[in-house]
Amino acid sequence: MFKRIVTVIEVLALAGALFFVVMLFGNEGGGTLTPSAAVYDANCASCHGGDGGGGLGPQLAGVVEEKYPDIEDQIAFVEEGQGAMPGFSGSLSDDEIRQVVEYTRSLK
């Protein structure tokens, strides 16, 4: 019985330590995201990286303005998609798409 109590206490202590570490490092960054950064983070960062540096999808930071000098062309691309890039017209509002496009154009 005593051994079982010690085991339970060890498991609870380990869970508490793990929770503390997650809470300590889980909120690095020190601030809340702007609305446009939040839209990017929720919909684009998993492929293009949190900083737009690329990943599964191509790099966006410092590149999109060159590829799409006219912002409306980039908006149309995000709405419609092409190849591996899905279209977001069905899942994001026009305003959210514009916000995320403007955000990607600000990444350097």
pLDDT at 2: 62
Sign, Cα dihedral of 35, 38, 44, 50:
positive
Decide: 48 and 57 in contact? Cβ < 8 Å: yes
Q: What SS3 class is residue 26?
A: helix
Confirm whether 10 is domain-assigned: no
Decide: 86 and 76 in contact? Cβ < 8 Å: no
CATH number for the domain including 92? 1.10.760.10
pLDDT tens track of the chain, all 108 residues?
766 665 767 766 655 555 555 555 554 555 678 999 999 999 999 999 999 999 999 999 999 999 999 999 999 999 999 999 999 999 999 999 999 999 999 999
Rounded CA gap, 5 and 12, in Å?
11
Rounded CA gap, 90 and 80, in Å?
9
Domain tally for the chain?
1
Rounded CA gap, 63 and 20, in Å?
39
Rounded CA gap, 85 and 44, in Å?
10
- Range of 64's domain? 34-106
